[in-house]
Amino acid sequence: MDGEITMETLGDMLPKEMSRVRTVLGYYKEMGAPGMFGATMIERSLRMADEAVIEGDIVAMMQAYEDLKTIE
């Protein structure tokens, strides 16, 4: 609809960002040895995001979301 404003919640955005970062993680793993450090750091960030979601910790979820957005 024209002019309709939609707002995404953290509950919408975090899983999307986690999915995007999992795709990026695949690229790092494909690099082999040169990408291993980056892959390890990305896996750490994803674990923290998973734990925040499982625990329902909103503050940790916001921190995880901000962290994941920096991964390229």
Q: What is the pLDDT of residues 18-70, one digit of tens each?
A: 999 999 999 999 999 999 999 999 999 999 999 999 999 999 999 999 999 99
Residue 68 near residue 18, CB atoms below 8 Å = yes
Which of residues 5 and 63 earns the better pLDDT score?
63
Tokens representing residue 27 in the block: 């690229």
Q: What pTM was computed for the model? A: 0.87
Q: Where are the alpha helices (DSSP H) in 1-72?
A: 10-30, 36-55, 58-69
Model pLDDT, residue 4: 81
